[in-house]
A and B are shown apart, each in its own frame.
Chain A
Amino acid sequence: MDFNPVLPTSLDALHLLLAVVVLILLLFLILRAGRKTTATPVPPAADSAPAPAPKPEPPVLQTSDPVSALQLLGLLQQEARFVDFLQEDLKGFDDAEIGAVARVVHEGAAKLLGQYFTLEPVRSEQEETRITLEPGFDPAANRVTGNVVGEPPFSGTLVHRGWRASRAELPRLASHHDVRILAPAEVEL
Chain B
Amino acid sequence: MSGADRFNVGIDLGTTNSVLAYLKPESAGDQGQVLAIDQVTQPGLVEARDQLPSFLYQTHEAEVSTGELALPWGSGGPQLVGQGARFLGAKTPLRLVASAKSWLCHGGVDRHSALLPLNAPEEVPKISPVAASATYLAHLQAAWDYRYPQQPLAQQNITLTVPASFDPAARDLTAEAARSLGLDNLTLLEEPQAALYAWVHASGEQWREQLQVGDLVLVVDIGGGTTDLSLVAVTEEAGNLALNRVAVGDHILLGGDNMDLALAYRIKAKLEAEGKTLQSWQIQALTHGCRDAKESLLEHPDEQAVPLVVPSRGSRLMGSTLRTELTREEVEQTLVDGFFPQVPITEHPRQAPRGGLTQMGLPYAQDAGITRHLAAFLCRQSHAADAFLSPGVDFIKPTAILLNGGVLKAPQLADRLLAVINGWLQPAGAPPARLLSGADLDRAVARGAAYYGYVRQGHGVRIRGGLASAFYVGIESAMPAVPGMPPPLQALCVAPFGMEEGSATSPSAQQFGLVVGEPVTFRFFGSTVRRDDTPGTLLDHWDDAELEELPPIQVTLPAEGRAAGEVVPVQLAARVNELGTLRLEAIAVGDQQRWQVELDVRENAL
Chain B residues positioned under 8 Å from A177 (CB to CB): 43-45, 67-68
Chain A residues positioned under 8 Å from B309 (CB to CB): 100-101, 103-104
Of B131-139, B310-318, B366-374, B423-431, the one with at least 4 CB within 8 A of chain A: B310-318
Residue contact B67 to A175, C-beta cutoff 8 Å: yes
For residue A172, CB closer than 8 A to chain B, the reply is yes
For residue B540, CB closer than 8 A to chain A, the reply is no
Residue contact A101 to B67, C-beta cutoff 8 Å: no
In the assembled complex, the Cα of A185 lies from the Cα of B72 at a distance in Å of: 27
Interface string of A48-87 (1 = CB under 8 A from B): 0000000000000000000000000000001001001101
In the assembled complex, the Cα of A90 lies from the Cα of B316 at a distance in Å of: 11
User: Quick one: which of A90, A98, A171, A186 contacts B41, CB cutoff 8 A?
Assistant: A171
Residue contact A174 to B42, C-beta cutoff 8 Å: no
Residue contact A174 to B318, C-beta cutoff 8 Å: no
Interface string of A92-130 (1 = CB under 8 A from B): 010001101101100100000000000000000000000
B345 to chain A, nearest CB (A): 42
A-B contact pairs, 8 of them (CB 8 A): A171-B46, A173-B45, A174-B43, A174-B70, A176-B44, A176-B67, A177-B43, A188-B91
Interface residues of B in 20-74 (CB under 8 A from A): 41-47, 65, 67-70, 72
Residue contact B318 to A93, C-beta cutoff 8 Å: yes
Which 3 pairs of residues, A with B, have the shortest CB-CB distance?
A: A177-B44, A176-B67, A171-B45
Residue contact B67 to A174, C-beta cutoff 8 Å: yes
Residue contact A81 to B311, C-beta cutoff 8 Å: yes
Chain B residues positioned under 8 Å from A90 (CB to CB): 318
Residue contact A85 to B44, C-beta cutoff 8 Å: no
In the assembled complex, the Cα of A103 lies from the Cα of B316 at a distance in Å of: 15
Interface string of A4-40 (1 = CB under 8 A from B): 0000000000000000000000000000000000000
- Taking residues whose C-beta sits less than 8 angstroms from the other chain, chain A's interface range is 20 to 34
Chain A residues positioned under 8 Å from B317 (CB to CB): 81, 84-85, 88, 101, 104
Chain A residues positioned under 8 Å from B41 (CB to CB): 171
With A174-B70, A186-B313 known as contacts, the answer to whether A78 contacts B42 (CB < 8 A) is: yes
For residue B603, CB closer than 8 A to chain A, the reply is no
Interface residues of A in 139-189 (CB under 8 A from B): 171-178, 186, 188
For residue B299, CB closer than 8 A to chain A, the reply is no
Chain A residues positioned under 8 Å from B43 (CB to CB): 174, 177
For residue B321, CB closer than 8 A to chain A, the reply is yes
For residue B292, CB closer than 8 A to chain A, the reply is yes
With A100-B321, A103-B307 known as contacts, the answer to whether A173 contacts B44 (CB < 8 A) is: yes
Chain B residues positioned under 8 Å from A173 (CB to CB): 44-46
Residue of A nearest to B42 (CB): A78
In the assembled complex, the Cα of A78 lies from the Cα of B65 at a distance in Å of: 20
For residue B149, CB closer than 8 A to chain A, the reply is no
In the assembled complex, the Cα of A122 lies from the Cα of B317 at a distance in Å of: 35
- Taking residues whose C-beta sits less than 8 angstroms from the other chain, chain B's interface range is 20 to 34
- Residues on A lying within 8 angstroms of B by beta carbon are 78, 81, 84-85, 87-88, 90, 93, 97-98, 100-101, 103-104, 107, 171-178, 186, 188
Residue contact B45 to A172, C-beta cutoff 8 Å: yes
Given contacts A88-B316, A172-B45, A173-B46, 12 further A-B contacts (CB under 8 A): A81-B317, A84-B311, A85-B317, A88-B317, A101-B321, A103-B309, A104-B309, A174-B69, A175-B70, A176-B67, A177-B43, A177-B68
Residue contact B67 to A172, C-beta cutoff 8 Å: no
User: Quick one: which of B46, B315, B323 contacts A87, CB cutoff 8 A?
Assistant: B315
Residue contact B311 to A174, C-beta cutoff 8 Å: no
Chain A residues positioned under 8 Å from B69 (CB to CB): 174
- Residues on B lying within 8 angstroms of A by beta carbon are 41-47, 65, 67-70, 72, 91, 292, 307, 309, 311, 313, 315-319, 321, 323
Residue contact B45 to A101, C-beta cutoff 8 Å: no
Residue of B nearest to A189 (CB): B92
Chain A residues positioned under 8 Å from B42 (CB to CB): 78
Residue of A nearest to B71 (CB): A174
Chain A residues positioned under 8 Å from B315 (CB to CB): 84, 87
Chain B residues positioned under 8 Å from A78 (CB to CB): 42
User: Quick one: which of A85, A100, A176 contacts B68, CB cutoff 8 A?
Assistant: A176
Chain B residues positioned under 8 Å from A175 (CB to CB): 67, 70
Residue of B nearest to A101 (CB): B317
With A85-B317, A172-B46, A172-B72 known as contacts, the answer to whether A100 contacts B67 (CB < 8 A) is: no
Chain B residues positioned under 8 Å from A186 (CB to CB): 313
Residue of B nearest to A71 (CB): B45
Residue contact A174 to B307, C-beta cutoff 8 Å: no
Residue contact A97 to B318, C-beta cutoff 8 Å: yes
A146 to chain B, nearest CB (A): 40
In the assembled complex, the Cα of A107 lies from the Cα of B307 at a distance in Å of: 11
In the assembled complex, the Cα of A171 lies from the Cα of B43 at a distance in Å of: 11
In the assembled complex, the Cα of A176 lies from the Cα of B315 at a distance in Å of: 25
User: Quick one: which of A87, A88, A100, A176 contacts B307, CB cutoff 8 A?
Assistant: A100
B442 to chain A, nearest CB (A): 16
With A98-B318, A104-B321 known as contacts, the answer to whether A174 contacts B46 (CB < 8 A) is: yes
B123 to chain A, nearest CB (A): 13
In the assembled complex, the Cα of A101 lies from the Cα of B45 at a distance in Å of: 27
Chain B residues positioned under 8 Å from A100 (CB to CB): 307, 309, 321, 323
Residue of A nearest to B41 (CB): A171
Max chain A Cβ within 10 angstroms of own Cβ: one of B91, B307, B309: B309
In the assembled complex, the Cα of A85 lies from the Cα of B43 at a distance in Å of: 23
Chain B residues positioned under 8 Å from A81 (CB to CB): 311, 317
B585 to chain A, nearest CB (A): 50
In the assembled complex, the Cα of A173 lies from the Cα of B41 at a distance in Å of: 11
